[in-house]
Structure formats: C-alpha cells, structure tokens
Amino acid sequence: MIKAFLNLLKPAPYLPEITDTAAIKKNYRYWRTRIFYSMYIGYSFYYFTRKSFTFITPTLSADLGLTKDHLGWLVSILSLTYGISRFTSGILCDRSNPRYFMAIGLILTGVCNLLFGFSSSFVLFAIFWGLNGWFQGWGWPACAKQLTFWFSRTERGTWWSASTTSHTVGGFLIAYLAAYCAKWYGWRYGMFVPGILSIGIGFWLLNRLRDVPQSLGLPCIEKFKGEVVEEGKKESTAILSVKEILFKHVLNNKYVWILALSYFFVYLVRTAVNDWGTLYLVEMKGYGNIGAAACVSWFEVGGFFGMLVAGWGSDYWFDGKRAPVIILTSIGLSFAIYALWFVQADDLILTSFVMALIGFLVFGPQMLVGLAAAEFVDKKAASTSNGFAGLCANLGSVVAGYPLLKIADLWGWYEFIVALSVCSLAIALILLPMWSVVNESNKTADVEEGEVPETTSVGVAGS
C-alpha cells in the first residue's frame, strides 16, 4: 500500500515536445488558467481547515473550560508540525507530482478537522491539530512548484502575489463560516463543515491539476517566453537528488538564510494578529465573538490587496527586487500595529480599518519572502527553498502561540502589542543588506512569446 502511494506521487513522465507554435500557445493559455484557478481554490480551502480553530476558540474555551495556556499550546503545536512539514514536504514535492501531493494533503486536513470536532480532551486536540499541521504542509510546496514551472521570472511576482491572495480569501470566508457555525450549532460544527467541504475540494483537485508543462508535451516556460537565463546550459529532465537540493542549492545559499530569518518575524507578527486578534478584541475592547471575528476578517481583506500591490510593485517599481518592498511595508507595519492599541473600543469602523491596514502591510512581506526564497535557487529546488524558509517562518508562528500569548497573560495586552511592533521593525533591519540584490541569473531577451532564439540555449532559473 505504501509503495502504491509513493508511486502515485512520482512525477509524471515528460511527453515528446509539441512542435506546432499555435498549439503550444493555445495549450499553455488553457493549462495555465486551469492550474492557476484550481490551486487558488484548493489553497483557499487549506485555510478553511487551518483557521477554523481560530474562530471557534471563544466558544470552545467557554464550553470545555480551556485556558489561554491550552489554546496557546494548540496554536504552537500546529505551527511546529506545519513548519517541519513545509521543509520536508518541500523536498518531497520537488521530487513528486504536485497534482496528487496537493489534493491528498487537502483531503487529509479535512479528515483531521473532523476528528478534532469529535474530540473533547486536550490530548486528542493536540494529536489531531498536530496532524492537521503536518498535512497543511503539503499545500504550499505544490503551489510553489506549479508557479515556478508554469510562470516565468519576469511575470512571477504578479502571478505569485495573485495566487497567495487565496490565503486571504480562505481566511476571510472561514471567519464567518466557523464563527456562525460555532454560535448557532456549537464549536464542533465549526470544525465539521470546513472539514467536509475541504475533502470534497480535494477530490476535485485530483481531476483539475497536472504536473509541469513538459508532462503535457509543452516546452519549459523559459523557452516558451523566450527568456535567456544562462548561456551554455541546456535544460535537464533529471530530478535533483536530495543531497544536491539541500547542500548545493539551499543550505549553502546565504540569501536563503537571510530571507528565512526575516520570515521568522513575518510569521510571528502575522500569526499573532490572526490567531489572537479575536481574543484581543473580546477581552480588551469588549466586542462580542461575531463582532470581533468580523473586524479580524478585514485583516484578510487588507492582505488580499497588500499581496497584489507588493507582487506587482516588486516587478514594476523595483525591477524584480523583492527586498525594498518588504522593508518599506515592514516599517509601516510597526506603526500600524502600535496604532491598534489606541483605537476606541466602540469604534467598529476604525478597528476594521486598522486591521485591514495591518493585513495590507504584513501579507505583502509574507508573499514576497517566500517568492524570493524560491527565486534564489534552481527552480528544481524551489519547493525545498520555500519550504526551508517556511520552516523558519513557522518557528515564528510557534513563538506567536503559547510564548507570545503568555506575555499577554502575565503582563498584559499592551506589552503584547509592543512586542509585535518591535518584531515588525526587525524584519526591515534583517533585510536591509538585500535592498539592491537581484538574482542576476534571470535575465530576459527581447523575444516574442512562444519563440526561442536559435543561437541561445535556455537554462534553468537560478542555475
């Protein structure tokens, strides 16, 4: 059974390349559209099963008497297992078929949500939420691989940012779905409904997604776009070994380490606001559960636009350099978080606006750091590099769970806000040395899309 499962995950074989230029253009247009909307919807539902817990915590806590310590540990457990899985799954996904990898992961996260909903003890919550975190790690590496192979360097910032808005769409919708299910039917239904929906979407993904372009007889994206990446190198169909991926392309790359360190603080801030924003508004500002959830949902709305602007801006304002946008938004993020403390408790509109502003300023860096980590390595190691950065990011999420909530418990919510503001500034300081750095191996020739210069061989991005 295990052997059959591993065979299912194997990359699809490359088909003979289509020679008809018109057919190539038509097929590329069709499959890029289909793969993009499929993984977009699929990853939105990953957020249904990951963030359902966030919006049932007040009801769950009141029903079973769970303390802040219990809630904090559950968030940290998921973040830890998710972070480890992001790294290990990235390695596996670079050597697998993202079609099955992403779909099976989503189905299993849905099952974990159902098992969590049937449980009543902290030990079982910890087990099933930890397993959920593990299978959550199967989602984004598959997306990173698809985006790297189906979209070229000169357009990837825009497409990557558009794809990552699936985070905010899923986070926005689950805020209302889980909160209403918990209010009217009990917290268990806040887990059941997202779980069942995600299982269904997982089976839909099995039908919709495909592997890399060459598995459909299409040329690689660099060849299709007419990009000259590196002279004298021909694309290889060989799969990189785990040793090559780790020690040649990822762990010896200083830029990947810098990006990973900054990602720690990006995710610490983002997770803290997202997971504890509802609790903060209930306890500190006196909001009801649904009112607080409605305000926090605007965090996702702001993030939606923040990612689009950050991706487009890094492509067109900074010529593909990601660090300047991250640095500027992180500085603004520090002030926006601190401003949250001064918003009056009865000002629902201003609270929602500040939450949206925070989302706008934090989701841009979240998207761009992951993109930059994938761009600074060979694209056949992109999922691993993104996963390694994701591991460091989720260590930040671990700290945003029990340790950071303990600050609010022991010293108060003001100290919690100050800590997040300082962490936001740390992102900018860490990335300052990369302000002018761009991956020089990715340069574009002035060639019409679909044509390849006859005198130039096309290499692999980041080789």
Range with the poorest average pLDDT among 28-42, 66-80, 369-383, 430-444: 430-444
Q: Is the pLDDT of residue 306 over 50?
A: yes
pLDDT tens readout for residues 90-138:
888 888 899 999 999 999 999 999 999 999 999 999 999 999 999 999 9
pLDDT at 268: 93
Tokens of 322: 């990601």
Residues 386-398 have a mean pLDDT of 84
With a pLDDT cut of 90, the percent of the chain lying above it is 42
Q: For residue 259, what are the contacts with CB-CB under 8 A and spacing of at least 6?
A: 369, 372, 373, 376, 389, 431, 434
pLDDT at 447: 39
pLDDT at 427: 96
User: Domain boundaries in the chain?
Assistant: 29-213+242-434
Q: Is the pLDDT of residue 322 over 70?
A: yes
Q: Is the pLDDT of residue 46 over 90?
A: yes
Q: Label residue 456 by pLDDT band (50, 70, 90).
A: very low
Q: Label residue 2 by pLDDT band (50, 70, 90).
A: low
Q: Is the pLDDT of residue 154 over 80?
A: no
Q: Is the pLDDT of residue 71 over 50?
A: yes
pLDDT at 232: 42
Query: Model pTM?
Result: 0.75
Q: Is 227 or 129 the better-scoring residue by pLDDT?
A: 129
pLDDT at 120: 93
pLDDT at 407: 83
State the CATH architecture for 29-213+242-434. Up-down Bundle (1.20)
pLDDT at 57: 87
Q: Label residue 9 by pLDDT band (50, 70, 90).
A: confident
pLDDT tens readout for residues 284-293:
877 777 788 7
pLDDT tens readout for residues 333-359:
999 999 988 888 777 889 889 999 999
Rounded-to-integer distance, Cα 297 and Cα 274, Å = 9
pLDDT at 89: 87
Rounded-to-integer distance, Cα 208 and Cα 202, Å = 10
Residues 304-321 have a mean pLDDT of 84
